[in-house]
Amino acid sequence: GAGVSQSPSNKVTEKGKDVELRCDPISGHTALYWYRQSLGQGLEFLIYFQGNSAPDKSGLPSDRFSAERTGGSVSTLTIQRTQQEDSAVYLCASSATRTASYEQYFGPGTRLTVT
Amino acid sequence: LAKTTQPISMDSYEGQEVNITCSHNNIATNDYITWYQQFPSQGPRFIIQGYKTKVTNEVASLFIPADRKSSTLSLPRVSLSDTAVYYCLVGDINDYKLSFGAGTTVTVRA
Protein backbone atom coordinates (compact mmCIF):
# COMPACT_ATOMS: atom_id res chain seq x y z
CA GLY A 1 0.00 0.00 0.00
CA ALA A 2 0.95 3.64 -0.22
CA GLY A 3 3.34 4.95 2.35
CA VAL A 4 3.53 8.33 4.02
CA SER A 5 3.82 11.13 1.51
CA GLN A 6 5.01 14.67 2.04
CA SER A 7 4.96 17.76 -0.08
CA PRO A 8 6.78 19.66 -1.26
CA SER A 9 9.94 17.60 -1.32
CA ASN A 10 12.03 20.75 -1.35
CA LYS A 11 11.18 24.29 -0.38
CA VAL A 12 13.37 27.34 -0.62
CA THR A 13 11.98 30.45 0.99
CA GLU A 14 13.16 33.87 2.00
CA LYS A 15 13.59 34.79 5.61
CA GLY A 16 10.39 36.20 7.00
CA LYS A 17 8.03 34.33 4.68
CA ASP A 18 5.48 31.75 5.86
CA VAL A 19 5.62 28.15 4.68
CA GLU A 20 3.22 25.22 4.79
CA LEU A 21 4.38 21.64 4.75
CA ARG A 22 1.94 18.83 4.07
CA CYS A 23 1.82 15.25 5.23
CA ASP A 24 -0.43 12.43 4.03
CA PRO A 25 -0.16 9.54 6.48
CA ILE A 26 -0.75 5.89 5.71
CA SER A 27 -4.48 5.30 5.39
CA GLY A 28 -5.99 4.21 8.68
CA HIS A 29 -3.07 5.35 10.84
CA THR A 30 -4.48 7.33 13.71
CA ALA A 31 -1.24 8.64 15.16
CA LEU A 32 0.81 11.22 13.29
CA TYR A 33 4.10 12.84 14.27
CA TRP A 34 6.23 15.69 12.99
CA TYR A 35 9.99 15.79 13.46
CA ARG A 36 12.83 17.79 12.04
CA GLN A 37 16.36 16.71 11.32
CA SER A 38 19.10 19.24 10.79
CA LEU A 39 22.37 18.55 9.03
CA GLY A 40 24.58 16.68 11.43
CA GLN A 41 21.91 16.76 14.11
CA GLY A 42 19.69 14.07 15.43
CA LEU A 43 15.96 13.75 15.13
CA GLU A 44 13.96 16.43 16.95
CA PHE A 45 10.35 15.72 17.92
CA LEU A 46 7.92 18.53 17.18
CA ILE A 47 4.31 17.40 17.69
CA TYR A 48 2.10 14.33 17.99
CA PHE A 49 -1.48 13.96 16.79
CA GLN A 50 -3.95 11.29 17.81
CA GLY A 51 -6.81 11.68 15.38
CA ASN A 52 -7.35 15.41 14.93
CA SER A 53 -6.17 16.43 18.37
CA ALA A 54 -2.61 17.16 19.40
CA PRO A 55 -2.04 15.92 22.95
CA ASP A 56 1.65 16.73 22.74
CA LYS A 57 2.93 19.93 21.19
CA SER A 58 5.91 20.11 23.49
CA GLY A 59 8.51 19.98 20.73
CA LEU A 60 7.36 23.00 18.77
CA PRO A 61 10.34 25.36 19.09
CA SER A 62 8.41 28.63 19.11
CA ASP A 63 4.97 30.11 18.56
CA ARG A 64 5.93 30.61 14.92
CA PHE A 65 5.32 26.89 14.49
CA SER A 66 1.84 25.41 14.35
CA ALA A 67 0.24 22.28 13.01
CA GLU A 68 -3.19 20.95 12.35
CA ARG A 69 -4.72 17.73 11.22
CA THR A 70 -8.09 17.40 9.56
CA GLY A 71 -10.33 14.40 9.00
CA GLY A 72 -7.95 12.25 10.96
CA SER A 73 -5.72 12.21 7.92
CA VAL A 74 -3.78 15.02 6.27
CA SER A 75 -1.65 17.25 8.45
CA THR A 76 -0.12 20.64 7.75
CA LEU A 77 2.85 22.11 9.56
CA THR A 78 3.02 25.88 9.24
CA ILE A 79 6.07 27.98 10.00
CA GLN A 80 5.46 31.71 10.14
CA ARG A 81 8.10 34.36 9.62
CA THR A 82 10.75 31.78 8.79
CA GLN A 83 14.26 32.20 10.12
CA GLN A 84 17.49 30.72 8.84
CA GLU A 85 17.67 28.40 11.83
CA ASP A 86 14.44 26.80 10.62
CA SER A 87 16.36 25.26 7.72
CA ALA A 88 16.14 21.50 8.15
CA VAL A 89 14.46 18.39 6.82
CA TYR A 90 10.95 18.14 8.20
CA LEU A 91 9.78 14.58 8.58
CA CYS A 92 6.30 13.26 9.11
CA ALA A 93 5.54 9.80 10.45
CA SER A 94 2.43 7.83 11.25
CA SER A 95 1.64 4.72 13.24
CA ALA A 96 -1.26 2.33 13.28
CA THR A 97 -1.52 1.78 16.98
CA ARG A 98 -4.33 3.25 19.05
CA THR A 99 -1.74 4.80 21.28
CA ALA A 100 1.48 6.37 20.21
CA SER A 101 4.35 4.04 19.66
CA TYR A 102 7.95 3.69 18.62
CA GLU A 103 6.83 1.81 15.51
CA GLN A 104 6.49 4.73 13.14
CA TYR A 105 6.50 4.93 9.37
CA PHE A 106 8.17 7.97 7.89
CA GLY A 107 7.68 9.98 4.77
CA PRO A 108 10.57 11.15 2.61
CA GLY A 109 10.66 14.54 4.25
CA THR A 110 10.54 18.14 3.10
CA ARG A 111 13.89 19.88 2.86
CA LEU A 112 13.35 23.48 3.90
CA THR A 113 15.98 26.07 3.10
CA VAL A 114 15.54 29.59 4.41
CA THR A 115 17.73 32.13 2.64
CA LEU B 1 14.72 6.95 26.80
CA ALA B 2 17.42 4.70 28.16
CA LYS B 3 20.93 5.61 27.12
CA THR B 4 22.29 3.43 24.36
CA THR B 5 25.78 2.84 23.02
CA GLN B 6 26.48 1.41 19.61
CA PRO B 7 29.55 1.40 17.34
CA ILE B 8 30.01 4.47 15.18
CA SER B 9 30.73 2.50 12.03
CA MET B 10 31.04 -0.98 10.58
CA ASP B 11 32.30 -2.22 7.24
CA SER B 12 31.16 -5.37 5.52
CA TYR B 13 31.05 -7.07 2.14
CA GLU B 14 28.12 -8.20 0.05
CA GLY B 15 26.71 -11.54 1.10
CA GLN B 16 28.05 -11.36 4.65
CA GLU B 17 26.02 -11.19 7.84
CA VAL B 18 26.27 -7.95 9.76
CA ASN B 19 25.71 -7.88 13.50
CA ILE B 20 25.34 -4.55 15.29
CA THR B 21 25.36 -4.65 19.07
CA CYS B 22 23.71 -1.96 21.16
CA SER B 23 24.41 -1.60 24.88
CA HIS B 24 21.65 -0.37 27.17
CA ASN B 25 22.70 -1.12 30.73
CA ASN B 26 19.94 0.99 32.30
CA ILE B 27 17.04 -0.60 30.45
CA ALA B 28 13.84 -0.57 32.50
CA THR B 29 11.30 -3.33 32.91
CA ASN B 30 8.78 -1.69 30.58
CA ASP B 31 11.31 -0.77 27.91
CA TYR B 32 11.31 -2.21 24.42
CA ILE B 33 14.19 -2.20 21.95
CA THR B 34 13.58 -0.73 18.51
CA TRP B 35 15.85 -0.39 15.49
CA TYR B 36 15.59 2.03 12.60
CA GLN B 37 17.49 2.33 9.32
CA GLN B 38 18.10 5.58 7.49
CA PHE B 39 19.48 6.13 4.01
CA PRO B 40 20.90 9.51 3.00
CA SER B 41 18.19 12.02 2.13
CA GLN B 42 15.41 9.69 3.22
CA GLY B 43 13.22 9.35 6.27
CA PRO B 44 14.03 6.68 8.85
CA ARG B 45 12.61 3.22 8.29
CA PHE B 46 11.35 1.01 11.12
CA ILE B 47 13.18 -2.33 11.04
CA ILE B 48 12.30 -4.35 14.09
CA GLN B 49 11.20 -4.19 17.71
CA GLY B 50 11.53 -6.64 20.56
CA TYR B 51 11.35 -7.15 24.30
CA LYS B 52 13.27 -10.36 24.97
CA THR B 53 14.82 -13.42 23.34
CA LYS B 54 14.67 -13.33 19.56
CA VAL B 55 12.50 -11.55 17.04
CA THR B 56 12.76 -12.17 13.32
CA ASN B 57 11.08 -10.57 10.35
CA GLU B 58 11.72 -10.48 6.62
CA VAL B 59 14.43 -7.86 7.03
CA ALA B 60 16.40 -8.69 10.16
CA SER B 61 16.66 -10.56 13.44
CA LEU B 62 16.94 -9.05 16.87
CA PHE B 63 18.67 -10.99 19.62
CA ILE B 64 18.12 -9.94 23.22
CA PRO B 65 19.87 -11.84 26.05
CA ALA B 66 18.12 -12.64 29.28
CA ASP B 67 19.52 -9.63 31.16
CA ARG B 68 18.39 -7.31 28.33
CA LYS B 69 21.39 -5.04 28.88
CA SER B 70 22.33 -5.32 25.24
CA SER B 71 20.79 -6.35 21.96
CA THR B 72 22.12 -7.35 18.56
CA LEU B 73 20.59 -6.49 15.22
CA SER B 74 21.50 -9.09 12.64
CA LEU B 75 21.28 -8.34 8.93
CA PRO B 76 21.65 -11.53 6.89
CA ARG B 77 23.48 -11.56 3.57
CA VAL B 78 23.82 -7.81 3.16
CA SER B 79 23.88 -6.12 -0.21
CA LEU B 80 25.18 -2.73 -1.30
CA SER B 81 21.70 -1.31 -0.72
CA ASP B 82 21.98 -2.06 2.99
CA THR B 83 24.54 0.72 3.33
CA ALA B 84 22.84 3.07 5.78
CA VAL B 85 22.83 4.39 9.32
CA TYR B 86 21.23 2.09 11.88
CA TYR B 87 19.77 3.44 15.11
CA CYS B 88 19.03 1.60 18.32
CA LEU B 89 16.34 3.02 20.61
CA VAL B 90 15.23 1.84 24.02
CA GLY B 91 12.09 3.12 25.65
CA ASP B 92 8.76 2.40 27.23
CA ILE B 93 6.13 0.81 24.98
CA ASN B 94 4.09 4.00 25.32
CA ASP B 95 6.98 6.24 24.32
CA TYR B 96 6.77 7.83 20.91
CA LYS B 97 9.26 10.66 20.82
CA LEU B 98 11.95 9.10 18.72
CA SER B 99 15.39 10.44 19.45
CA PHE B 100 18.35 9.21 17.49
CA GLY B 101 21.93 9.31 18.61
CA ALA B 102 24.79 9.04 16.13
CA GLY B 103 23.78 5.53 15.10
CA THR B 104 25.99 3.00 13.37
CA THR B 105 27.02 3.72 9.82
CA VAL B 106 27.18 0.40 8.00
CA THR B 107 29.08 0.42 4.73
CA VAL B 108 28.71 -2.60 2.48
CA ARG B 109 31.36 -3.03 -0.20
CA ALA B 110 31.29 -5.16 -3.31
Give per-residue pLDDT as tens, B31-76: 999 999 999 889 999 999 999 999 999 999 999 999 999 999 999 9
Of the candidate ranges A44-58, A96-110, B95-109, the one whose mean pLDDT is the lowest: A96-110
Of the candidate ranges A31-35, A100-104, B35-39, B80-84, the one whose mean pLDDT is the lowest: A100-104
Comparing CB atoms, the residue among B46, B91, B96 nearest residue A48 is B96
Cβ-proximal residues to B44 (8 Å cutoff; 6+ apart), any chain = A43, A91, A93, A104, A106, B36, B37, B38, B87, B98, B100
CB contact under 8 A, A101 and B96: yes
Q: Tell me the per-residue pLDDT of B2-21, one tens digit each, with 9 for 90 and over.
A: 789 999 999 999 999 999 99
> Strand B104-109 vs strand B9-13: parallel, antiparallel, or unpaired?
parallel
Average pLDDT over residues A35-48: 88
List residues in chain A touching B: CB distance below 8 A.
4, 31, 33, 35, 42-43, 45, 48, 56, 59, 91, 93, 95, 99-109, 111
CB contact under 8 A, B95 and A104: no
Comparing CB atoms, the residue among B46, B93, B102 nearest residue A104 is B46
Closest CA–CA distance from residue B99 to any residue of chain A (Å): 5
CB contact under 8 A, A35 and B98: yes
